[in-house]
Structure 1
Amino acid sequence: MKSSRSYPYWFILPGGLVYLVLFLVPTVAAFWFSLTHWDLFETRFIGLENYYQFLREPFLITGVVNTVIFGVLTSIAKSVLGLLLAVLLTSGLLGQSFLRTLIFFPVLVSTIGVGIAFAEIMHPARGMLNIGLSYFGIQGPAWLIDPNLALFSVALVDIWKGVGLATLIYIAGLATISSDYYEAARIDGATKLQMFFRITVPLVRPATVTVVTLSLIGGLRSFDIIWAMTKGGPGFSSDVLASVIYKQYQAGFYGLSTAGNIILFALVAFIVIPLTYWFNRREVDL
């Protein structure tokens, strides 16, 4: 009996060890280093001084606001577009297998590569996008140079790159919906739009929770595509919290940048954990 009761715990032991080594230990170590002034040769404990100094950064508020805007905007867009594309690609459309591959392909491409490529495509003078618009008599904007457009231009590219994964998750969610619901709705005279909002949207809710959560976490932590396209510029207009942290690291303030990472972790947790709780509670209520 004793071995029978303890038997299932052996299954979680490998995952628990991986979680301990790759997450818990680095997290505790990062928190310790955030309380120190350190480099490759010396570590000196300074308490919460790094946090005080990081919170006094002149462009910190801009970075936090941009982080939230970027995360929320890309998460909503990926969720809405992913669901619409999933419905389209499960409707028996001609060539839908090819279209699924085409939409998912950007997910497989290197984020840095995408950022560098679109930095050239969106170049105000020699970029393919503005050159194409000029053929239609449209003066293309300075996508990555205008402070009012830079962050949204990067967000647009991030949505293009990530919507394929959201679409794939929604396709899996749509596959779990029984066709009986739609047959009954047709008999009752429901239109396609009514079936979408009354059947598809509610029953695909678990997939929506997954897409929103993953997209929001990824958006709040986003760095690589922003750095590849704008490096936080022009000025500090497209800086997010992760790029502010990286600039501190580049300047050699390792303890300060580590404190910034802890603050970023806390920000993501502060937004995502209550949202996940709310989603789960709504799902139980339904």
Structure 2
Amino acid sequence: MNKLFYKDSTWAIIFLFPHLILFLAFMLFPVIGSFVLSFASWDLIGELEWIGFGNYVELYNDEIFVEVFWNTVIFTAVSVPVGIFISLLLAVALNQKIGGIKFYRVAYFLPVISSMVAVAIIWQWIYNPEYGFLNFLLDLVGIDGPNWLSSQTWALPAVIITTIWKNLGFNMLIFLAGLQGISDSYYEAAELDGASVIQKFRHITVPLLSPTTFFITIMAIINSFQVFDTVYLMTGGGPGRATSVIVHYLYQNGFEYFRMGYASAMAYVLFFLVFILTIIQFLRQKRNSIY
């Protein structure tokens, strides 16, 4: 028995070893290294200078960081609930037995697997103030559309709309899987009691989807606080700092200003922020769980 166990363990280690090496090289060591760097000043070329909590103190007093922090909070506070609500409605609609349902499901999921570069180019054309499709539609109803991506007021909402559209299909697919796990007997019993469509949605669909909604909410919050590619490709954080978010400012400090220690400190502030929000969501889910 022991001989067989050691033989199986040896083969398991052999097969897991390449993955372990990659995990150590590209995950664990960088995480530990960035934590160490958060207490130092380093420009990638010169020597490391230990400054203790200096980077964190500077972050606390950094007005730009405060601005991009609130941009990130606004981005998350709008994109997460709106995106979840729309994707839930779409999932309910696409859970019906109608003709061509597979086509619609694929069509709504297509943006998820599309390149962010292609998505950014398309939406930059849509937002173009002179020949963009959105301003063309607004002009038809007598509204003078703004210069979306160059406006301090409208640039962040424009990025939020693009992000919601890009991620809609993923959330919809997860909701769809959750909906298909709900037994029809609940709805049949509700119909016998004379429940309306809205009542069935409110008292059956929403409560029974709470674990799915919890998962989607956690993932959406984490992804929203880590948003970068949409901002970088569409606006570059501008105009000014109107669309700059934490990860964008982190990228600038690390790879444009070469302040790796400061960028690392920012990364760990972001990590603890997301960690705290996740714990809060877990506690709320545990308290409100119907299971």
Identity among equivalent positions (%) equals 34
Query: How far apart, CA to CA, are the structure 1 residues paired with 2:214 and 2:103?
Result: 27
The separation in 2 between residues aligned to 1:14 and 1:79, in whole angstroms, is: 37
Question: Which of 150, 154, 159 in structure 2 is aligned with 1:149?
Answer: 154
- Classify 1:258/1:112 alpha carbon distance in 2 versus 1 (closer, same or farther; 3 Å): farther
Residue in 1 that maps onto 2:29 = 25
Comparing 256-265 with 18-27, greater Cα deviation is found at: 18-27
User: Aligned-pair RMSD on alpha carbons?
Assistant: 2.5
Aligned position for 1:280: 286
Q: Residues 10-31 of structure 1, C-alpha deviation per residue, up to 9 Å, x if partnerless?
A: 79x9599476554433221110
Corresponding residue number in structure 2 for 1:125: 130
Report the TM-score, using the length of structure 2 for normalisation: 0.88
Q: Distance in 2 between matches of 1:126 and 1:3?
A: 74
The CA deviation at 1:258 is: 1.6
- In structure 1, the partner of 2:90 is 85
Corresponding residue SS for 2:95: coil
Indicate the residue corresponding to 1:60 in structure 2: 65
Counterpart among 105, 127, 133 of residue 110 in structure 2: 105
- Residue 200 of structure 1 corresponds to 205
CA offset digits 1:53-74 (Å, max 9, x no partner): 2332222211111111111221
Question: Which has the higher mean CA deviation after the structures are superposed, 116-125 or 194-203?
Answer: 116-125
Amino acid at match of 2:268: I
Q: Does residue 170 of structure 2 align to residue 165 of structure 1?
A: yes
Aligned-partner residue type, residue 26 of structure 1: P
| 3-state SS, counterpart of residue 128 of structure 2 | coil
- Tell me the CA shift for residue 217 of structure 1: 0.5
Q: In structure 1, which of residues 115, 121, 126 is the aligned counterpart of residue 120 of structure 2? A: 115
Q: CA deviation at 1:231?
A: 1.4
1:90/1:139 Cα in 2 relative to 1: closer, same or farther (>3 Å)?
same
Residue type matched to 1:44 in 2? E
Map of 1:263 onto structure 2: 269
Which segment drifts farther, 218-227 or 234-243? Answer: 234-243
**Contact 1:115–1:226 under 8 Å retained in 2:** no
Give the corresponding residue for 1:218. Answer: 223
TM-score relative to the length of structure 1: 0.90
Give yes or no for contact 1:144–1:153 (8 Å, CA) kept in 2: yes
- C-alpha distance in structure 2 between counterparts of 1:197 and 1:216, whole Å: 24
Question: What do residues 96-137 of structure 1 show as CA deviations (whole Å, max 9, x unaligned)?
Answer: 111101100000012233123312320222323213332343
Summarize deviations over 1:156-181 as a string: whole Å, max 9, x none.
11000001000000010011101111
Shift of 1:247: 2.0
Give the 3 Å change call, closer, same or farther, for CA 195–248 of structure 1 in structure 2: same
CA distance in 2, matches of 1:14, 1:46: 39
The equivalent residue for 2:78 is: 73
Amino acid in the other structure paired with 2:31: T
SS of the residue 2:45 aligns to? coil
- Distance in 2 separating the partners of 1:121 and 1:274: 38
1:252 aligns with 2:258: yes
Q: 1:4 to 1:82 in 2, by over 3 A?
A: farther
One-letter amino acid of the structure 2 residue matched with residue 269 of structure 1: F
Q: Tell me, in whole angstroms, the C-alpha distance in 2 between the residues paired with 1:94 and 1:162.
A: 25
Q: Please point out which of 5, 17, 40 is paired with 2:45.
A: 40
CA distance in 2, matches of 1:205, 1:20: 36
**How far, CA to CA, are the matches of 1:172 and 1:200 in structure 2?**
13
Determine helix, strand or coil for the equivalent of 2:63. coil
- Structure 2, unaligned stretches of length 5 or more? none
SS in 1 for 2:149: coil
